């Protein structure tokens, strides 16, 4: 899945609130803050969305579980969104094999010019290659946190957008990327090392080159990745700061206001290669990654269950889902 390119020592506080940082290009500091009604995020509902995804089994592309889950996700998006777009695409894996993928897009207020992209990946990894038990390292994973948690949060956001419609001037596109997590097994990583090719985030690369609407532009994007574990640590990821510091600052300030400062902190972390990279580099959409990272983890910097068979529903925390969803709804409705 994600690749850590380097890690900056943990307690490095950003000057992200300083005057020299990029600002929201549409911000007007002379206007009083708008008072808007923000719906209440339902963490129980988000949890059920996560549970339903994992009930199909590992969502490895070109398996029955993957096909069944796609059908279910399309139906759920169809209940809530104005339009659903299914992007069937063909890509090439690290070993040269061709593989079919399916990006899923829920469109809200399709006529609105100002658009925000909310995204996560919905596939799960075919290899538990970081499992401490060698007998498990070729098994697929449930991906309850790594994939399903972000999708669950966004499905609940979609349900709220249906219940309390967004302003007509604001459009939201919820994108579920496929083929994010089909990179090489860690035992073979060096064999397939090629700085010219990103073998991960294949669905995001495809969508960034071929968006669901020709000439598509968005104000900014927010990617969710591993947002369901207990006791999360959401620092500011370095690519997010490099490409979209004003978006990070907007989101983290709102999290602080809502009382989530211990979890959303101002630490600057390493460069994480994730779905937001093609969105920034190829699509030109300023996009940030909200991702759970831990300096004390024995599993690189990721949660202990990352890329193991233990990434299952047992390790999903409703409080974390609720926190992330609450932040997202406030950011969107207060835009």
What percent of the chain clears pLDDT 90, i.e. is strictly above it?
Answer: 84
The predicted pLDDT at position 14 comes to 34
What confidence category does residue 7 fall into, taking pLDDT thresholds of 50, 70 and 90?
very low
Residue 234: count other Cβ atoms within 10 Å of its Cβ. 26
What confidence category does residue 21 fall into, taking pLDDT thresholds of 50, 70 and 90?
very low
For 213: left if phi > 0, alpha if psi spans -120 to 50, otherwise beta; the answer is beta
Q: Which of 11-25, 39-53, 71-85, 321-335 has the lowest mean pLDDT?
A: 11-25
Q: Which of 134-138, 253-257, 270-274, 281-285 has the lowest mean pLDDT?
A: 270-274
CA distance 254 to 264: 10
DSSP 20: T
The predicted pLDDT at position 206 comes to 98
For 16: left if phi > 0, alpha if psi spans -120 to 50, otherwise beta; the answer is alpha
Q: Which is higher by pLDDT, 121 or 14?
A: 121
Mean pLDDT value across the chain? 91
Question: Each residue of 141-197: pLDDT tens digit?
Answer: 999 999 999 999 999 999 999 999 999 999 999 999 999 999 999 998 778 776 656
CATH number, domain containing residue 260: 3.40.630.10
Q: HSE on the CB side for 103, CA within 13 Å?
A: 27
Q: Which is higher by pLDDT, 25 or 76?
A: 76
CA distance 153 to 320: 10
Give the dihedral of Cα atoms 99, 316, 51, 152; nearest 10 deg: -70
The predicted pLDDT at position 25 comes to 61
CA distance 162 to 193: 44
For 71: left if phi > 0, alpha if psi spans -120 to 50, otherwise beta; the answer is alpha
Which of 335, 139, 163 has its CA nearest to residue 250? 335
The whole domain housing 318 covers: 3-333
Across residues 70-93, what is the average pLDDT? 98
The predicted pLDDT at position 34 comes to 58
Q: Which of 14-18, 86-90, 140-144 has the lowest mean pLDDT?
A: 14-18
On the question of pLDDT at 13 being above 50, the answer is no
The predicted pLDDT at position 4 comes to 47
What confidence category does residue 19 fall into, taking pLDDT thresholds of 50, 70 and 90?
very low
What confidence category does residue 16 fall into, taking pLDDT thresholds of 50, 70 and 90?
very low
CA distance 125 to 131: 12
DSSP 19: T
Domain count, the chain: 1
The predicted pLDDT at position 23 comes to 61
Question: Each residue of 223-272: pLDDT tens digit?
Answer: 999 999 999 999 999 999 999 999 999 999 999 999 999 999 999 988 99
């Amino acid at each position: 899945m994600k690749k850590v390119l380097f890690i900056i020592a943990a307690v490095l506080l950003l000057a992200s609130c300083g005057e020299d940082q990029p600002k929201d290009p549409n911000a007007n500091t002379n206007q009083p803050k708008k008072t808007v009604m923000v719906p209440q995020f339902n963490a129980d509902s988000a949890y059920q969305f996560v549970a339903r995804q994992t009930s199909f089994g590992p969502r490895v592309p070109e398996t029955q579980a993957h096909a069944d889950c796609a059908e279910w996700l399309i139906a759920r998006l169809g209940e809530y969104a104005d339009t659903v777009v299914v992007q069937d695409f063909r890509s090439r894996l690290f070993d040269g094999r061709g593989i079919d993928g399916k990006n899923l897009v829920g469109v809200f207020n399709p006529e609105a010019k100002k658009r925000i992209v909310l995204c996560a990946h919905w596939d799960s990894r075919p290899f538990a290659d970081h499992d401490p038990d060698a007998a498990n390292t070729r098994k697929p994973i449930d991906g309850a946190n790594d994939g399903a948690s972000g999708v669950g949060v966004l499905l609940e956001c979609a349900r709220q957008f249906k219940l309390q419609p967004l302003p007509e001037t604001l459009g939201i596109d919820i994108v579920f990327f496929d083929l994010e997590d089909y990179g090489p097994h860690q035992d073979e990583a060096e064999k397939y090392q090629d700085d010219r090719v990103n073998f991960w985030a294949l669905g995001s690369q495809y969508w960034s080159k071929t968006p669901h609407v020709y000439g598509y532009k968005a104000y900014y994007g927010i990617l969710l990745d591993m947002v369901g574990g207990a006791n999360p640590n959401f620092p500011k990821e370095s690519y997010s700061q490099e490409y979209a510091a004003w978006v990070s600052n907007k989101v983290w300030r709102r999290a602080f206001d809502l009382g989530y400062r211990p979890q959303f902190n101002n630490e600057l972390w390493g460069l994480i290669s994730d779905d937001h990279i093609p969105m920034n580099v190829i699509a030109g959409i300023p996009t940030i990654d909200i991702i759970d990272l831990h300096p004390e983890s024995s599993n690189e910097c990721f949660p202990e269950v990352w890329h193991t068979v233990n990434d299952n529903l047992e390790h999903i925390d409703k409080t974390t889902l609720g926190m992330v969803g609450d932040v997202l709804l406030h950011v969107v409705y207060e835009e």
